[in-house]
Amino acid sequence: MISCNGGLNQMRAAICDMVAIARYLNVTLIVPELDKTSFWADPSEFQDIFDVNHFITSLRDEVRILKELPPRVKRRVELGMYHSMPPISWSDISYYRDQILPLIKKHKIVHLNRTDARLANNNQPYEIQKLRCRVNFKALRFTPQIEDLGKRVVRLLRQNGPFLVLHLRYEMDMLAFSGCNQGCSSEEVDELTKLRYAYPWWKEKIIDSDMKRKDGLCPLTPEETALTLRALDVDPNIQIYIAAGEIYGGRRRMESLSASYPKLVRKETLLEPSDLGFFQNHSSQMAALDYLVSLESDIFVPTYDGNMAKVVEGHRRYLGYKKTILLDRKVLVQLIDQYNNGSMSWDEFSSAVKESHSSRMGNPIKRLVIPDRPKEEDYFYANPEECLESAVELTSSI
Return the ∠ at Cα 318 (arms to 53 and 138), rounded to 5°.
10
Pairing label, strands 83-85, 264-265: unpaired
Judge if 200 and 73 occupy the same domain. no
Pairing label, strands 163-167, 239-242: parallel
Judge if 298 and 280 occupy the same domain. yes
To the nearest 10°, the Cα dihedral for 120, 126, 129, 131?
-140
Q: Write down the pLDDT at residue 142.
A: 98
In a domain, 396, yes or no: no
Q: Which of 107, 141, 175 is the last residue of a domain?
A: 141
List the helix and strand counts (H, then E) for the chain.
Answer: 20, 9
Identify the helix (H) or strand (E) that includes residue 111.
strand 110-113
Q: Which of 88, 107, 141 is the last residue of a domain?
A: 141
The answer to whether 147 touches 22, Cβ cutoff 8 Å, is no
Judge if 136 and 158 occupy the same domain. no
pTM over 0.85: yes
Q: Which of 141, 159, 192 is the last residue of a domain?
A: 141
> Exposed (0-12), middle (13-18) or buried (19+): which is 79, by Cβ within 10 Å?
exposed
In a domain, 94, yes or no: yes
In a domain, 279, yes or no: yes
Side chain identity at residue 363, one-letter code = N
**Residue 273 three-state SS:** helix
Q: Write down the pLDDT at residue 40.
A: 67
Q: Write down the pLDDT at residue 32.
A: 97
pLDDT 10s per residue in the chain (398 long)?
999 999 999 999 999 999 999 999 999 999 999 998 777 678 999 999 999 999 999 999 999 999 999 999 999 999 999 999 999 999 999 999 999 999 999 999 999 999 999 999 999 999 999 999 999 999 999 999 999 999 999 999 999 999 999 999 999 999 999 999 999 999 999 999 999 999 888 889 999 999 999 999 999 999 999 999 999 999 999 999 999 989 999 999 999 999 999 999 999 999 999 988 888 778 899 999 999 999 999 999 999 999 999 999 999 999 999 999 999 999 999 999 999 999 999 999 999 999 999 999 999 999 999 988 988 999 999 999 999 975 444 444 33
Judge if 134 and 165 occupy the same domain. no
Judge if 100 and 231 occupy the same domain. no
Q: Write down the pLDDT at residue 190.
A: 97
Judge if 130 and 166 occupy the same domain. no
Judge if 287 and 304 occupy the same domain. yes
Q: Write down the pLDDT at residue 397.
A: 38
Number of domains in the chain: 2
Q: Which domain, by its residues, includes 80? A: 8-141
Q: Write down the pLDDT at residue 315.
A: 98
Judge if 76 and 29 occupy the same domain. yes
Q: Write down the pLDDT at residue 395.
A: 43
Judge if 150 and 297 occupy the same domain. yes
Q: Write down the pLDDT at residue 394.
A: 41
